[in-house]
Amino acid sequence: MSNEVYDVTIIGGGPAGLFAAFYSGMREMKTKIIEFLPFLGGKVPYFYPEKTIRDVGGMPSISGERFTDQLIEQAMTFNPSVILGEQCTSVEKTVDGTCFILTSNNGAKHYTRTIMIATGFGTIKPVKLDLSEASQFEEKSLDYAIKRLENYRGKHVIISGGGDTAVDWANELESIAEQVTLVYRKTAFSGIESNITKMQNSSINVKTPYTVDRLIGEGGRISTVRLKNLRSGKTEETMADALVVNHGFEIDLGPIAEWGMSMENGTISVDKKMESSIPGIFAVGDIAGYDHKLQLIAGGFNEGPVAVNSAKKHIYPNQHLEHLFSTDTDLFS
């Protein structure tokens, strides 16, 4: 059974990979998912289980946790094989050239006719606060992601950052925390305009251009945060029960970056078929790079089916390929 051959092996079990697995099953492709984490869903349940997702068609508002549950339920419709806790480290072709052999970090080998890389940007670690005392407060009163909003109820919360995530969390916490202060080193935010406007018209205390300069407290609990104005150099202290830092992520694609595919700006370059420079290896979601790429989950939901159809054509080059969708079939009747 270790040499069982799959039509498509999807590396990565995040949103793009999960929807691709569903569509692959719908096209009657023998499908396997290999996920490095011990659970499916990718960074959504890991970093943002309670973050509200609003930019997927037909879903006005849904939590990251619920969104992930529904994606997994959908992905399992056609019973793909699922491998958790494995990282694919190398790839090679079989002697006859008809299959790829993926080798994992534990030595396991996976045989597949095509590969779809849906790893997001790879291993993600939050950029930590660059203060010597920060480590003593981490996981107690200093967080790099919000997993449970209720943990901040009635607290004075400071958020450091100015991107989409920082602005989103400030808006989410406004009605839960006693006071939310957002600190950003620049004067212009980089989040979605409507969210920025909502924040600026709320009770959130927005301080720019400021940075977190010192943390004061004991026993792992922050009591005071010193802020520094980057223009004047002056500092001020403000009461705080919790600090949330959203300074971005350190990204590492890992061994996949050494597989020989053309890459640009940390992404795998793909063509209109979502195929990399290596025939039979496709990429979807955040890791796929092409002109006018839009980093939306909804975009990944389109890329997956395109890659599945292209993979099927790669396997059966002489067969006419219809680009089918569920409303064209009686699979769900």
pLDDT at 1: 41
Q: What is the 3-state secondary structure (H, E, C) of the chain?
A: CCCCEEEEEEECCCHHHHHHHHHHHHCCCCEEEEECCCCCCCHHHHHCCCCEECCECCECCEEHHHHHHHHHHHHHHHCCEEEECCCEEEEEECCCCCCEEEEECCCCEEEEEEEEECCCCCEEEECCCCCCCHHHCECCCEECCCCCHHHHCCCEEEEECCCHHHHHHHHHHCCCCCEEEEECCCCCCCCCHHHHHHHHCCCCEEECCEEEEEEEEECCEEEEEEEEECCCCCEEEEECCEEEECCCEEEECHHHHHCCCCEECCEEECCCCCECCCCCEEECHHHEECCCCCCCHHHHHHHHHHHHHHHHHHHCCCCCCCCCCHHHCCCCC
Tell me the residue type at 53.
I
Cα–Cα nearest to 146, from 240, 66, 244, 221: 244
Contact 200, 170 (CB under 8 A): no
**Domain boundaries of the chain, sorted by first residue:** 5-124+250-328, 128-247
Q: What is the pLDDT along the chain (333 residues), one digit of tens a residue?
A: 458 999 999 999 999 999 999 999 999 999 999 999 899 998 888 777 888 888 888 889 898 899 999 999 999 999 999 999 999 999 999 999 999 999 999 999 999 999 999 998 776 778 999 999 999 999 999 999 898 999 999 999 999 999 988 999 999 999 999 999 999 999 999 888 999 999 999 999 999 999 999 999 999 999 999 999 999 999 999 999 999 999 988 777 889 999 999 999 889 999 999 999 999 999 999 999 999 998 888 889 999 999 999 999 999 999 887 766 665 555 554
- What are the phi and psi torsion angles at 93 (to 5°)? -95, 150
Is 5-124+250-328's fold the same as 128-247's?
yes
pLDDT at 152: 97
pLDDT at 271: 97
Provide the 10 A C-beta neighbour count for residue 289: 17
pTM: 0.80
Q: Which CATH number fits domain 5-124+250-328: 3.40.50.720, 1.10.760.10, 1.10.3720.10, 3.50.50.60?
A: 3.50.50.60
CATH superfamily of 128-247: FAD/NAD(P)-binding domain (3.50.50.60)
